[in-house]
Amino acid sequence: MTGTQLRSGAELHALVERLYPICRSITGDGVRQTLDIIGEHIALERHEVPTGTAVLDWTIPQEWNIRDAYVAAPSGERVIDFRESNLHVVGYSVPVSRRMPLSELREHLHTLPDQPSWVPYRTSYYAPAWGFCLAQEKLDALPDGEYDVVIDSTLADGSLTYGEHVVPGRVTDEVIVSCHVCHPSLANDNLAGIAVAVSLAQQLAESQPHYTYRFLFMPGTIGSITWLARNSSRIDKVKHGLVLACAGDPGPLTYKKSRRDDAEIDRVLQHVLRSREHRVVDFSPYGYDERQFCSPGFNLGVGSLTRTPYAGYPEYHTSADNPSFVSPTAMEDTLGALSDAFSVLDRNRRYVNLSPYGEPQLGKRGLYDSLGGRSDAKQAQMAMLWVLNLSDGEHSLLDIAERAGLPFDIVDVAARALHDAGLVKE
């Protein structure tokens, strides 16, 4: 896959499978390895922000890395093994090398009693702790006795790592696309969004877009807070944005609106998703990094696109969120919706009618003739009339499409034809 364009669902899924084994967290070498692989497909600018750096009301924590971890039964057998799955260790666990009875060990074990064959995902980023995660049925089978407990990890001064990829546009106003790179082996909640974002960046680079598109690959929460702190002086460049996650599960697409509720990105996504099975939900200050971009001091027009939202499917934050849970078809559908949305966003302009007194004669300009033979000739004619009537500098093409009940593409084509005929200008 090295250096390839990701065009098909199968190629997106292959990237998910390649990234899946890596143990990621909010800092550490797992994030760097993930960015290395992303960097094989799109150019990345890497940022390392040192431990102790103040970022808004937060501080960059110590860097965490792990080499091995296990729990060995009295027989010496590894009954919990980090090498089998990185979900077995609580993220950011401090180093441990001890022998203890099962009764004491149980205080550090996490399971899902309602899903007895699945391993949960747990973290302890900002409080020193350690623990292991395992299937409830595995815990039930553990014999009494003394257990060897080893977590070969380090918590030391280092840095937080994130990556940026920029697709230059004809203007410097920016659209940001953000996805998190901090989860270990979780295919939908992390990796499917990364794969879709990479492919979307490649598509946009081929289209020579109007806006500049900035793709952010960052750890959740602390990553977006860090980016906002480091970019606060140029935040006015960000005109639109989208947080992408949970992009490959079988559920319908879900768009979560920005805090503004009626930002242009909100209206574009709702317009585009009408042709797909979908849900639209209102903003809330809980979820992914949209809550940081939409915090009241920034209040950016940033929404969130998922399929099934966080915590909305049983496999969420468990070992069942594996590559078999995400499908090439679902990732292709997410990518298609994003491509359509950004195509609308990129072409959404305001025009001014240069012949506003009465309806200009379209026939003598050949505009009616250009519709001959089109299956949508009636719609195209109506689109021209609507564009002429509402091109007052106040209404965008999306406004016109919504009010006229017409597809955006037809309204955009009509506006271009009228522009070429000298009847409207941007």
> Can you say which residues are annotated as belonging to the binding site for Zn(2+)?
183, 189, 317
Cα 211 to Cα 221: distance, rounded to the nearest angstrom: 26
Residues 119, 319: contact at Cβ < 8 Å?
yes
Residue with tokens 């594996």, as numbered in its chain: 322
Order of all β-strands in the sheet with 96-101: 78-81, 63-72, 146-156, 96-101
Bind-site residues: 183, 189, 317
Cα 390 to Cα 163: distance, rounded to the nearest angstrom: 42
Cα 26 to Cα 222: distance, rounded to the nearest angstrom: 8
Q: Is 286 exposed, middle or buried (0-12, 13-18, 19+ CB in 10 A)?
A: exposed
Q: Number of C-alpha atoms within 13 angstroms, CB side, residue 286?
A: 3
Residues 217, 161: contact at Cβ < 8 Å?
no
